[in-house]
Structure 1
C-alpha cells in the first residue's frame, strides 16, 4: 500500500457477504477498518475480531444508512474513532426481493424511494460527510458497489436498477469533481454473487435453494464469490491502481 500514513476504510454493510469479505481483503492489505452494520451485530464483531487477528485495527458502528441522520452519525463516529477516513466503500443495500419484482407499470413510488434511500441517499450522505476531509490527504478513494443489472436492464427489476443507475451517475460526477484533490472514485458492479441476497433473488426467481445448483450454468462453472468482488475493491484502492478513476468494473464472468 505504499509508505504513506496508515489508511482507514469505512465499509458499509460490512458484517456479511461482499462487505465482510471486503473488510478482510482490505485488512490483509494493511488497511484499518470502520465496519458499518445495520442488524448483524454479532457478525460485525466476528469480522472485527478477524481483522484484529491480522494486526489491523477494527471498530464496529451500527447504523441504518437509509436514514440520513444515522448515516451522518455513522460518518461522525468513524471519524471520531480513527481521526480520518481515507477510503469509503458504499456497499450496504438490498435487492428487489424487499419490494417484489413488479413491472415498471406496476411499480410503487414508496418502493423506489426505499431503494433510493439505500443506494443513493445513504451513499450521498456519507460522501458529503467524508469526502471533504479526504481532500487533506495525499489520496482518497470512494468505491460504489453497484450491480451488473444496470447494464442488463432486465425485466421486473426496474426500481432496483433505477436506484443503482442513480448511484453510478453520482459516482461518475463525483470522480470528476474530486480528481484534482487526489480522490479516486470507481464502481464495482457484480453480477449474481454467492450471498444471502443473491440466494434470495434466485429463490424468488427460479425456486433455487442452493447456489451450487447454479454453478454449472455460470461462466467458468461457478457463481461469483464475495471474495472475487472484495479482491477487486482491494485492487482499486491500492497503489497498483493509482491511475484508475471514474471506471466501472463488471464482475459477471463475461455473461452480459
Structure 2
C-alpha cells in the first residue's frame, strides 16, 4: 500500500508542468487525485490516464480560475466525483500580464495587476475558504510559492512576486488557524523549472547559454525538473510531515544561498 492510500487529493493546475508531476507522484503514493484544469482538457485527460496506467486513481475537475464564482465552480465539479478531501494543493498560477508578457512596474496595467492577483491569490483564498467544510481533520494544504519572495528579485516579475508574497502570509496565518484541527499548511517555493511554460527560453540548442546560467545558480549544478518539486510536495502531503506547518520550503536547489 502507498503512503497515501485511502486519501483524496485535489491539485489545482494539476494537468501540466509542476502540477502534473505533483498529481502523478501523489497518485503513485496511493491517493485518488482530482486533476484540476482550466481550459486544456486534453492535458487533463492525459494526466488522468497516466495516473491510471501507473495503477492509481484520478478524475478531472474543470474550472477556470480568476473569474467571479470560480471557487464555487471548482467545488461543484469536485463534489460530483468525490466526497471529502484529505490533501489540497494550490498549484495553479500565472506569471504574465493579460497580453502574455512580463512587465516591470512602469508597464503593469491595472488589468494586469487584477488578473494576476485574481488567479494567484484570490482563487486560492476562496478555494480554501469553501473547501474547509470538505477538508478532513488531519489534512494537508500545500501552496505553491516562489523563490522570488525571498531574495531572487526580478523587476519584470514584480506583480507576480507580490501575489506569491501574499500567499506566503496566507500560508503561515492559515497554519495557526487550522492547527487545532490537525491540518498542516505549508508553501513550496520553486525557482525556474524545466517545464513547457519555460520551454521558449530554456529548451533546445538555441538556449544553451540560458541553460548554463540557470544550472549554475544551484550548488547542485543542474536545472530543476518538475518531479523535483512533486517529490517535495509528496513529503508535505504525507504523515512524515506531521510536525511541519506554517513553513516556506525552499525548493530552488539552493539558488538563494
Normalized against structure 2, the TM-score is what? 0.89
Structure 1 residues not aligned, in runs of 5+: none
Q: Assess if the C-alpha contact under 8 Å between 1:97 and 1:200 holds in 2.
A: no
Paired residue for 2:223?
Answer: 223
> Secondary structure of the residue that 2:224 maps to in structure 1?
coil
Paired residue for 2:115?
Answer: 114
Shift of 1:200: 4.6
CA–CA distance in 1 between the matches of 2:245 and 2:8? 19
Larger CA deviation: 24-33 vs 210-219: 210-219
Paired residue for 2:128?
Answer: 127
Structure 1 residues 80 and 32: alpha-carbon distance in aligned structure 2, compared to 1, 3 A threshold: same
Paired residue for 1:102?
Answer: 103
CA–CA distance in 2 between the matches of 1:107 and 1:42? 32
Shift of 1:196: 2.2
Paired residue for 2:251?
Answer: 251
Structure 1 residues 228 and 2: alpha-carbon distance in aligned structure 2, compared to 1, 3 A threshold: closer
Q: Assess if the C-alpha contact under 8 Å between 1:103 and 1:158 holds in 2.
A: yes
> Secondary structure of the residue that 2:22 maps to in structure 1?
helix
> Secondary structure of the residue that 1:26 maps to in structure 2?
helix
Counterparts of residues 110-189 of structure 1 (less than 5 Å): 110-134=111-135, 137-151=136-150, 152-189=152-189
Shift of 1:86: 1.3
Q: Which of structure 1's runs of 4+ aligned residues deviate more than 4 A? A: 1-5, 200-203, 209-216
Shift of 1:130: 0.9
Q: How many residues align?
A: 251
Counterparts of residues 199-214 of structure 1 (less than 5 Å): 199-200=199-200, 208=207, 212=211, 214=213
CA–CA distance in 2 between the matches of 1:183 and 1:150? 24
Q: Does 1:241 align with 2:241?
A: yes
Shift of 1:138: 3.8
Structure 1 residues 64 and 211: alpha-carbon distance in aligned structure 2, compared to 1, 3 A threshold: farther
Normalized against structure 1, the TM-score is what? 0.89
1:163-183 superposed Cα distances (whole Å, 9 cap, x missing partner): 111111111111111110111
Structure 2 residues not aligned, in runs of 5+: none
Larger CA deviation: 187-196 vs 137-146: 137-146
Q: Assess if the C-alpha contact under 8 Å between 1:10 and 1:34 holds in 2.
A: yes
